Amino acid sequence: MNPTRPAAVIILAAGEGTRMKSSTPKVLHRIAGRSLVAHAIVAARATDPEHLVVVVRHGRDLVAAHVLDRDPDAVVADQDEVKGTGRATECALASLPADLVGTVLVTYGDVPLLEGRTLLALVEAHAGAGAAATVVTAHVPDPTGYGRILRDGTGAVCGIVEQKDASEEQRAITEINSGIYAFDAATLRDALGRVGTDNVQGEKYLTDVLAITRESGGQVRAHVVDDLWQTEGVNDRVQLAALGKELNRRLCETWMRAGVSIVDPATTWIDSDVTIGQDTTIRPGTQLLGATTIGAGAVIGPEVTLTDTEVGDGAEVRRAEALLAVIGEEATVGPFSYLRPGTVLGRRGKIGGFVETKNARIGEDAKVPHLTYAGDVTIGEGANIGAGTIFANYDGVHKHHSTVGRNSFVGSNSVVISPVNIADGAYVAAGSALQGDVEPGQIAVARGRQRNVDGWVARARAGTKTAAAAAEASERHTDDTDSESAS
């Protein structure tokens, strides 16, 4: 057995979280693109445990479904009517093999900044000392609300007292219990069987395990961490925002140290699962969300939101929003562009100002420069779509697909009424309402012939400034014509 590999990690996620004032269970609230409990699962999995158990109760079905969606190999354990972290841990142990041996870690589903490497260090310290129980502690300037670590005259941990049960002298202690533990599995089972509910809250406290373990002759140790943020839990939306901001600061710093230029970290938000290549520049007001991936040497921003979007090397995206889209190498997007799901922009392609795309494949070197809606369309390499073009893909019942061939040209202010196939090397005249296919080398002209009606303004808009201007212009035109005739 590997002593630095936990036999199990137990994540306690059964709390109601009433201070969140939300219909959503507390552990399903999100920061940096992950739920609180998902952050806990990622940290737990970094230790490579033999078993991972998540204890649920409030919002049971929602939380359980989310946990299994995130980690199908996790075990979901239900806490019963008995309250307290000790009882929750007992319920978790009941779902594990009865002969489980080794180290059991206990963490929480609402401590999102806890890192896997911290848990690994805890396991190593616990196993290295041959301890029966090890608690993660921290020294804080204001310990209000936390359980206090009690030490004996030798400095050894002899117990934990909760805030509501602490004396005035104990409340002055600044070393606090993080709620994160490493236990010997057999010691934990035995001690939990002897934990009672004789306290102010009438709960079965996990903290009582430490005193029982010590009384039984087991060694209890503290593993002190300097990074207080890793011990911080979320109890309300104020703390949720504070932890989200701190996590984002850390993510920005991580990427900057990896070779990414972030002009203004304070206005840049990066989710945990985002990846960014070296020498990419992130300008102010940018949000990189979900599983977005950005290549090397790209420029993103200002004012860009990318969600689950892939951006190639050397691409530039500014003042745009994209969701489930692919932006090719050296392509340009923006400003004020909206790339909806299914958009694929080829290498050196362009999606310009005030363009919306959906389920659109735009080929290498193709351009959709401005004021266009391109939905359900394939645009070949080198093609150019003129300003104001609309691909009318929806007939009120069904969506239809159109194609524009290689190096073809669609003139400005055209409407392509799908389904239409414009072949390679074809033209569509500006202002066309296209309903039929266009063959290679053809130009399609689908518009009414212009007709100018003489005297219409004088008759229909008599007495207006327009009519006066028209009369003056007509008189000047007549005078000019007479002068030319005389000469």
CB pairs under 8 A, 24+ apart, for 327-331? Answer: 328/364, 329/295
What burial letters (b/e) apply to 349-387, b meaning 16+ CB within 10 Å? Answer: bbbbbbbbbbbbbbbbbbbbbbbbbbbbbbbbbbbbbbb
Give the integer Cα–Cα distance in Å for 427 and 252.
Answer: 48
Distance in angstroms (rounded) separating the CA atoms of residues 361 and 36 = 37
- What is d(CA 231, CA 176) in angstroms, rounded to the nearest whole number? 10
Task: Kindly report the pTM of this predicted structure.
Answer: 0.91
Ramachandran angles phi, psi of 314, nearest 5°? 70, 5
What DSSP state is assigned to residue 227?
Answer: -
Q: pLDDT tens digits for 278-320?
A: 999 999 999 999 999 999 999 999 999 999 999 999 999 999 9
Angle made by CA atoms 320, 325, 328, in degrees to the nearest 5: 90
User: Count of CB atoms within 10 A of residue 101's CB?
Assistant: 11
| pLDDT value of residue 201 | 75
Spatial distance between the Cα atoms of 137 and 224, rounded to a whole number of angstroms: 5
CA gap 370, 180 in Å, rounded: 55
For the chain, residues with pLDDT lower than 70 are 1, 200, 479-487
Contact (Cβ atoms closer than 8 angstroms) between residue 111 and residue 179: yes
Could you say which DSSP state residue 59 is in? Answer: B
What tokens were used for 226?
A: 């300097």
Domains of the chain, each with CATH number or no CATH: 8-231 (3.90.550.10), 252-444 (2.160.10.10), 456-480 (no CATH)
Neighbours of 305 (CB within 10 A): 19
Taking the CA of residue 366 as centre, how many other CA atoms within 13 Å lie in the half-sphere pointing to its CB? 29
d(CA 330, CA 348): 5
Can you give the pLDDT at residue 482? Answer: 60
Which residues is 220 bridged to in the sheet? 133
Active site residues: 370
CA 182 – CA 180 distance, rounded (Å): 7
Which tokens go with 286? 């940018």
pLDDT at position 164 is: 85
Give residue 51's identity as a one-letter amino acid code. Answer: H
**Cα(63)–Cα(11) distance, integer angstroms:** 12
Instruction: Give the pLDDT confidence score for residue 153 in this predicted structure.
Output: 86
Please report which helix (H) or strand (E) contains residue 124, including its range: helix 116-129
pLDDT digit string, tens, across residues 162-216: 888 899 999 999 999 998 999 999 999 999 999 987 776 778 989 889 989 999 9
pLDDT number for residue 454:
93
